[in-house]
């Protein structure tokens, strides 16, 4: 979710360790099994509020910017996975 927001707002995407450190610094607790769960937090947005089905960032009006607006490494339409 954070990476979808970062893409749409032009911020740097965080790796799992950086995101975990930031959440811990802010006092959030986590539970770990096969995945990490952050406790006592709820999302009010979804990934689809920030990126389209191909992973391209959406503008605030909900539309995708033109292909020329993407940095060269994002124009290829690669299959990036979100790390959280």
pLDDT per position as a tens digit, 61-78: 555 555 544 444 444 444
Q: Look at residue 21 in the predicted model and tell me its pLDDT.
A: 92
Residue 64 has a pLDDT of 55
Tell me the domain boundaries of the chain. 2-75
How would you classify the pairing of strands 36-38 and 30-32?
antiparallel
pLDDT at 60: 61
pLDDT at 6 over 70: yes
């Amino acid at each position: 979710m954070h990476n979808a927001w970062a893409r749409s707002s032009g911020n740097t995407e965080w790796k799992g360790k950086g995101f975990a450190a930031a959440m811990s610094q802010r006092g959030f607790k986590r539970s770990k099994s096969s995945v990490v769960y952050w406790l006592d937090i709820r999302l009010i947005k979804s990934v689809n509020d920030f990126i389209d089905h191909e992973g391209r960032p959406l503008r605030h009006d909900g539309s995708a910017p033109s292909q020329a607006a993407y940095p060269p490494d994002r124009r290829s339409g690669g299959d990036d996975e979100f790390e959280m």
